[in-house]
Chains A and B, each alone.
Chain A
Amino acid sequence: DTAVSQTPKYLVTQMGNDKSIKCEQNLGHDTMYWYKQDSKKFLKIMFSYNNKELIINETVPNRFSPKSPDKAHLNLHINSLELGDSAVYFCASSQDAGGRTEAFFGQGTRLTVV
Chain B
Amino acid sequence: LAKTTQPISMDSYEGQEVNITCSHNNIATNDYITWYQQFPSQGPRFIIQGYKTKVTNEVASLFIPADRKSSTLSLPRVSLSDTAVYYCLVVAQGANNLFFGTGTRLTVIP
Contacts and interface: CB of A to CB of B under 8 A. Distances in A.
A100 B42 contact: no
B95 A100 contact: yes
Interface stretch (A14-22, A41-49, A68-76, A78-86): A41-49
B98 A99 contact: yes
**Interface majority SS on B: helix, strand, loop or mixed?**
loop
**Interface majority SS on A: helix, strand, loop or mixed?**
strand
B43 A50 contact: no
Interface stretch (B14-22, B61-69, B73-81, B86-94): B86-94
Given A43-B44, A108-B41, A103 B98 contact: yes
Interface size class of B (residues with CB under 8 A): 20 to 34
B97 A48 contact: yes
Contact of B42 (A33, A42, A107): A107
Interface residues of A, number: 26
A98 B91 CA distance: 9
A97 B91 CA distance: 12
Interface of B: 32, 34, 38, 41-46, 49, 85, 87, 89, 91-100, 102-103
7 contacts: A43-B38, A43-B44, A98-B93, A99-B91, A99-B92, A99-B98, A100-B34
